[in-house]
Amino acid sequence: MKNSLKELRTEAGWSQVALGEKLGVSRQTIIALENGKYDPSLKLAFSLAKVFERRIEDIFTNE
Amino acid sequence: MESICESNKQYRRQMLIWAVTYCVVTYASVYTLKNAGIEHFGLRTLIALTPMLPIAWVGVIIMRFIRSLDELQQKMQFEAVVFSAVMTGLLTGAYGFMEGVGYPKLDTIWILPMLMIFWVIGQALARRRYK
């Protein structure tokens, strides 16, 4: 699954640590998400959508 | 919710206290068995088993720590534990068959350290996979 997390995070001006703190996850998890190495759970995907004020399908694409 | 950073610090602190406690209890157990002149078999067994108390305690510390991790970190720990179980099973199983053809009998006390070593290796492999 592809995602636009890195672009969204950069746009918001947040570091990986800051985003991790907002979501309650580690920087390691943010890195894995951004690199497409890990697909989040539905719960985390909803949290990401809430933090970035986007719909889940605007952040993740099934490619 | 407790932050992941705070959980890590707490885990390290608890593991340090545990390591010191384990060393003291194990030393006291071995020393007592060798020097106290206790003859009663049941009592000697109890004293020999006292290091198992801190070992049980470390299990609780590890379980608490794993529950405090986020979803990816828990997945990585799961993969590391499975790796450790498979490798330990393969090695102990293979050596068990080798004992059947004359290799020296090895003490089962080495199984736990083996599990721990393969767990650490499994964690490193999982970290590399999700980097």
pTM for the full predicted model: 0.83
Does the pLDDT value for residue B1 go beyond 70? no
- Mutate: best of B4, B65, B72, partner A, most A CBs <10 A: B72
Short-list A27, A42, A47, A37, CA closest to A1: A37
Question: Where residue B2 falls among pLDDT bands split at 50, 70, 90?
Answer: low
The CA distance from A40 to A43, in Å, is: 8
Does the pLDDT value for residue B9 go beyond 90? no
Structure tokens at A22: 């907002």
Q: Are B123 and B77 in contact (CB under 8 A)?
A: yes
The CA distance from B124 to B113, in Å, is: 17
| A21 touches B: beta carbon within 8 Å | yes
Q: Are A4 and A59 in contact (CB under 8 A)?
A: yes
Task: Give the model confidence (pLDDT) of A31-47 as tens digits.
Answer: 999 999 999 999 999 99
Write down the pLDDT at residue A19. Answer: 97
Task: Give the model confidence (pLDDT) of B47-103 as tens digits.
Answer: 999 999 999 999 999 999 999 999 999 999 999 999 999 999 999 999 999 999 999
3-state class of B127 per DSSP? helix
Spans of chain A below 70 pLDDT: none
HEC string of B38-96? Answer: CCCHHHHHHHHHCCHHHHHHHHHHHHHHHHHCCHHHHHHHHHHHHHHHHHHHHHHHHHH
Residue B76 CB neighbours (<10 A): 23
| A31 touches B: beta carbon within 8 Å | yes
Write down the pLDDT at residue B76. Answer: 96
Residues of B with CB under 8 A from a CB of A: 1, 3-4, 69-73, 75, 127, 129-131
Rg (CA), chain A: 10
